[in-house]
Structure 1
Amino acid sequence: MSTPKFAVKAQSFHTELKRRVNTYFEEQRKKPTGNFNLYFKAIGFGVALVAVYVHLVFFTPALWLGIAESLVLGGLIAAIGFNVMHDGAHGSFSTNKVVNMMAAFSLNMLGGSSFMWNFKHNIIHHAYTNIDGVDDDIDIQPWLRMSSTQKKYKLHKYQHYYFWFLYSLLYILWIFVMDYQKYFKQKIGNMPLKKMEVKDHVVFWSFKFIHLIIFVGIPIYFAGFTAWLVGFLVTTLFAGLVISIVFQLAHTVEHTHFPMPSEEDGRLADEWAIHQLKTTANFATRNKLISMLVGGLNFQVEHHLFPKISHVHYPAISRIIKQTCREFNVEYIEYPKMRMAIASHVAYLRDMGRG
């Protein structure tokens, strides 16, 4: 399908919203990027990951402790992705471009590709959220039916039961399968991939090799194949489940929309900002522990409206966004508890599976 176009409104909700948020930062004399708390958290997660890795690989703990540490390692991988890589890739981690690049590069060290992520997430997903045929995040066919516009198969009747297993496979498939599919096809879904320069090819292959050495070669050499396999599977499956749940709760719940452009002119009914509000949901925003661990991605509405603002500012600007939504009569989707959002996601998958 061709790239959809958003409606243009005379009285733009987005223009007024940006004005109010910009005024907030000017009045508070704050920069929209990260602060000391974020940098301290990033260093803490990084040091913890190295410490757990070293103990697992070079000290080979007992089975029960090794499994527990592997779960922690998986959680730390997800936390670094949420807090460091994600902000860095959006250019909101720091005012320094080099620091942002280094933060985004953490994905390469963890086995992914920052080049692929930038195009898939920053460009496609953030621009065309929940649009079937464009947003690759809701294209899990034929295994899951994430939108009413997608074909329904018999197995989808049970997708609200087996999705947990599929979600756990995300990270391992991401680093060993999906990145390579995008690389060789030079496409993400139906969207042609941005042309890769020589340096992009070098970074892609060199860091894939480095990741294999660090997370496969060295552990097998020092801990043995069986111990590595158990630990690696526990780590990657847990990381995949956490990453999947956090991102899916943001867009595939009962109250979010899945708009499609007009067949006549390819236009969507709403302007971009309202489209983001209709397709995005928050969860557990008053839970400071969850907010800290998931890098503010439970404030997904704020993130989608202002992706270049660091997540450390989301609680403050959420009040501005809610007030503006009330004045413009725009729905602001939010689940008070994480368990409520999970229940809504399960219910949504059940509804999609039943057609």
Structure 2
Amino acid sequence: MQTPKFPKGKPPFSVVLKERVGAYFAETQQKITGDHRLYWKAAILVLAFVALYVHLVFFTPAWYWAILECIVLGFAISAIGFNIMHDGSHGSFSNRPWVNTAAAFTLSVLGGSAFMWNNKHCIIHHTYTNVHDLDDDLDAGIFLRLSEHQKKYKMHSFQHYYFWFMYMQLYLFWILFSDYKKYFTRKIGDMPLKKMSVMDHILFWKFKVINLSLFAIIPIWMVGFTPWLIGFLVTTQIGGLVLSLVFQLAHTVEDTTFPLPDDANKMEDEWVVHQLKTTANFATKSKIVCWFVGGLNFQVEHHLFPKISHIHYPAISKIIKQACAEYGIVYNEYPRVYQAVASHVSHLRHLAKIS
């Protein structure tokens, strides 16, 4: 399919932002990638995951402790995705390419596909954010209506009530269905999938087998089918809910837009302005939230500068806010997590009412 084009701004707002952010790194003499703060966090998260997994599978505690540990494991998996995999996939975890590749492949160990994620998220989502039929993040099948441009079904009248349950299924859907759909159809939504090399095919199936072994075969062998199934569902439901909420709060809220190309297949705004209109921040003052979600609460900064590690987002957000104020461009932000969640629910409720 023919993808839409973004016009050049007058004056080019993107140039102003790049110059100012570039000047910040030149003055502070910092690398744009991660440093010891990110590496220590990555070590903590990986060790937490390994410890929880080993204790649950090989030293299985009483059922009530096991349930609690499975809940924490769901949070740990989400945090690894936010902090390690996400920065690695964008090449911002380290200035060493092989380290970024290793960080990105944590997703493959956890059940997803690093190749599919790179195509779906790093290329398509980051280019055509909130554009109907292009941004696959808006596609929840018939179950949820996330944009006014999507077809409305009767069930959507209640989506602002049941969306919690649907979000809990994301992780399961991701590792058991969506990656395979992309693989066999060679498409991400309506966009053709980038051609896979022989090594891409090998790695896709190799890590699917590794994940199946780690999260199903070995646990079933050690603890039995029923305890495994309960623990697996608890872990994936928690992971799915956390992953879904963090990504949805960044783009599907009341203040973000869902622009379409015109008849000439051109977008209204230059790419940088498009990102600002389709993206929102939340809880940027909370160090706990920022630590856990890998700076994805600074989603504006991430979309404008995906090659910059999230550890720098608090600093460069001040530069971007100032530039937006000077150029009269709205900078979407919610001070608290609950306010962003409330806005997301209101957005779903609004789409449930309109045709």
Deviation sequence 1:111-136 (CA, Å, 0-9, x none): 11000000000000000000001000
Task: Give the distance between the partners of 2:46 and 2:259, measured in 1 at CA.
Answer: 39
Shift of 1:88: 0.2
Counterpart for residue 295 of structure 1: 294
Counterpart for residue 22 of structure 1: 22
Counterparts of residues 9-88 of structure 1 (less than 5 Å): 9-88=9-88
Shift of 1:59: 1.2
Write the letter of the residue equivalent to 2:160: H
Deviation sequence 1:291-333 (CA, Å, 0-9, x none): 0000000000000000000000000000000000000000000
Counterparts of residues 98-113 of structure 1 (less than 5 Å): 98-113=98-113
Task: Give the distance between the partners of 2:10 and 2:290, measured in 1 at CA.
Answer: 36
Q: 3-state SS of the aligned residue for 2:102? A: helix
Counterpart for residue 194 of structure 1: 194
Alpha-carbon RMSD: 0.6
Task: Give the distance between the partners of 2:159 and 2:313, measured in 1 at CA.
Answer: 33
Write the letter of the residue equivalent to 1:311: H
Write the letter of the residue equivalent to 2:33: T
Counterparts of residues 57-206 of structure 1 (less than 5 Å): 57-206=57-206
Task: Give the distance between the partners of 1:2 and 1:145, measured in 2 at CA.
Answer: 24
Q: 3-state SS of the aligned residue for 2:34? A: coil
Following TM superposition, the consecutive aligned residue runs of length 4 or more in structure 1 with deviations greater than 6 angstroms are: none
Shift of 1:99: 0.4
Task: Give the distance between the partners of 2:108 and 2:285, measured in 1 at CA.
Answer: 32
Q: 3-state SS of the aligned residue for 2:216? A: helix
Counterpart for residue 272 of structure 2: 273
Shift of 1:2: 2.4
Write the letter of the residue equivalent to 1:330: I
Task: Give the distance between the partners of 1:238 and 1:79, measured in 2 at CA.
Answer: 12
Deviation sequence 1:121-152 (CA, Å, 0-9, x none): 00000000000010000011311111111111
Q: 3-state SS of the aligned residue for 2:257? A: coil
Q: 3-state SS of the aligned residue for 1:147? A: coil
Q: 3-state SS of the aligned residue for 2:31? A: coil
Q: 3-state SS of the aligned residue for 2:289? A: helix
Shift of 1:7: 1.3
Task: Give the distance between the partners of 1:101 and 1:148, measured in 2 at CA.
Answer: 37
Task: Give the distance between the partners of 2:248 and 2:287, measured in 1 at CA.
Answer: 20
Say which is worse superposed, 180-189 or 132-141, in terms of deviation: 132-141
Q: 3-state SS of the aligned residue for 2:105? A: helix
Task: Give the distance between the partners of 1:214 and 1:269, measured in 2 at CA.
Answer: 47
Q: 3-state SS of the aligned residue for 1:67? A: helix
Shift of 1:10: 3.1
Task: Give the distance between the partners of 1:225 and 1:154, measured in 2 at CA.
Answer: 38
The TM-score with structure 1 as length reference comes to 0.99
Counting matched residue pairs gives 354
Write the letter of the residue equivalent to 1:116: M
Task: Give the distance between the partners of 2:246 and 2:4, measured in 1 at CA.
Answer: 26
Deviation sequence 1:227-267 (CA, Å, 0-9, x none): 1000000000100000000000000000000000002x100
Task: Give the distance between the partners of 1:140 and 1:218, measured in 2 at CA.
Answer: 32
Matched, 1:351 2:350: yes
The TM-score with structure 2 as length reference comes to 0.99
Instruction: Flag structure 2 segments of 5+ consecutive residues without an equivalent.
Output: none
Deviation sequence 1:52-97 (CA, Å, 0-9, x none): 0011001111111000000011100000000000000000000000
Matched, 1:338 2:337: yes
Counterparts of residues 318-337 of structure 1 (less than 5 Å): 318-337=317-336
Task: Give the distance between the partners of 1:136 and 1:212, measured in 2 at CA.
Answer: 25
Q: Percent identity?
A: 60
